[in-house]
Amino acid sequence: MAHFFREPDRRQRFLLPVDMMDWLPEGDIVHVVVDGVGLMDLSDFEATCKVGRAGQPPFAPAMLLALLIYAYSHGVRSSRAVERLCRRNAGYRFIVGDDVPDHSVIAHFRQRHAERMKGVFLQVLELCREAGLIRLGLVALDGTKVKANASLDANRTASPIGEQIDRVLAEAEATDAREDRQFGPDANGPAMPGDLKRRGQRLARLKACQEKLQAQAAAAADRQEKKIAAREAEEKATGRRKRGRKPKGPDPSVDPDTVANTTDPESGILKTRRGWVQGYNAQAVVTTGQTILAADVTTEANDVRQFIGMLDQAQANAEAVLGEEAVLGAAVADAGYWSEANAESQTEECELFIATQKDHKQRAALREAPSPRGRMPKSMTARERMDRKLRTKRGRGLYRQRGASVEPVFGQMKDRQDAGRFSMRGLELCRGEWQLQAAVHNLRKLHRESVRRTENAG
């Protein structure tokens, strides 16, 4: 029986009581998790272990990673809840044995190794390849809005943010003056109390909000400057003044009505079918068998600029696990990804089928419009060419598979893994958590395939 221990050099096996083993049937996903993590190269994780130093010996990274994956596979993300389950649940005890990690250890491990979850995702993808779960030829790309670990009520405009920064700085200055009177200007004083630590964290978030608003204003000014330059260049080339009002000059000052979130400054206000949420735009490329090939997170509300990057990432991952000869074949995406630039990015290795109108309208058009005949006219625009390709028999068949491929993946992740809200804050940490969620989804697919084969063999 595979098992993980506190120190990498301790290999004694922990034997579960017989009655506890009865609670864990052979088909329990914990076996796939433990065996899968046992096959991974976790040298990057292990290099950070505190082996041979003072203090309590570290928990093995393999054990903590398996614990995270198993918890996420059941939709448990609270580190306190995981700690409680480690004391009373057979599946969790199977992983940790008698050494139950504290919730702070679990939370710190997840946050500290967020950037390494891309490597975990790729190693799970390798396990899926060995099981024959990766079939290329057609992939589907889509995005879903995931709530941030922050509320809409925490958004503030530029003026209140500046006032809060001044207030926090004034509080800090008053505290310093009080301590100087109490301990002297050269004394270190007592250890920093918790309220001062929280004040420092709040100040850092407020400054991050201020920097975000300033960056947005600078980007808007740059776009306006380019727009004016393009207009002037066109007028100079044609010798005629363009009709309409001349654009205003660029203004780098912050719009007082723009907002940033003081809890998670990198998150944004996003529109969903159920209203507005504070969150991130999570992306995934999946096969028709619902295996995730690529996963990423962006702060941009629109999908259109994610198209090329996500397909490039999926191609790179496919080559990493299948070999350099692997090709995606074809890709389908809804109208959120439509642009002429995206349509022109088609290659011989990946044919593109991108809807040009909202999904329900696109499906209706494909049902009702006749299939095209004859040669494609050379005068057609990029949109007209894509519409024509989608109406072909092949185009209809491929686009029909889009919804059945990617939409159930998001549903399964949000329903079974509680992936509808991030536990951590900040783009990079949320990206790592989304890649962990994607790895867990693929492991769950691997587990179902293992159970199916066992049942068929029996």
SS (H, E, C) 239-304: CCCCCCCCCCCCCCCCCCCCEEECCCCCCEEEEECCEEEEEEEEEEEEECCCCEEEEEEECCCCCH
Q: What is the pLDDT at residue 85?
A: 96
- Mean pLDDT for the chain? 83
Instruction: Judge contact between 29 and 70, C-beta under 8 A.
Output: yes
| 206 pLDDT tier (thresholds 50, 70, 90) | low
Residue 181 pLDDT > 70, yes or no?
no
Q: Give the residue from 86, 89, 107 showing the smallest Cα distance to 98.
A: 86
Neighbours of 417 (CB within 10 A): 21
Range with the lowest mean pLDDT among 23-37, 237-251, 281-295, 328-342?
237-251
Does 394 or 194 have the greater pLDDT score? 394
Distance CA 161, CA 261 (A): 10
Neighbours of 298 (CB within 10 A): 19
Q: What is the pLDDT at residue 244?
A: 73
Q: What mean pLDDT is predicted for residues 320-340?
A: 95
Range with the lowest mean pLDDT among 64-68, 123-127, 151-155, 417-421?
151-155
Please write the tens of the pLDDT for every residue from 413-422. Answer: 999 999 999 9
Sign of CA dihedral 417, 422, 423, 427: positive
SS3 151: coil
Q: What is the pLDDT at residue 17?
A: 47
Q: What is the pLDDT at residue 73?
A: 96
Q: What is the pLDDT at residue 160?
A: 67
| 454 pLDDT tier (thresholds 50, 70, 90) | confident
| 78 pLDDT tier (thresholds 50, 70, 90) | very high
Q: What is the pLDDT at residue 9?
A: 39
Residue 297 pLDDT > 60, yes or no?
yes
| Dihedral angle over CA of 439, 442, 444, 449, nearest 10 | -150
Range with the lowest mean pLDDT among 171-175, 288-292, 349-353, 376-380?
171-175
Residue 5 pLDDT > 50, yes or no?
no
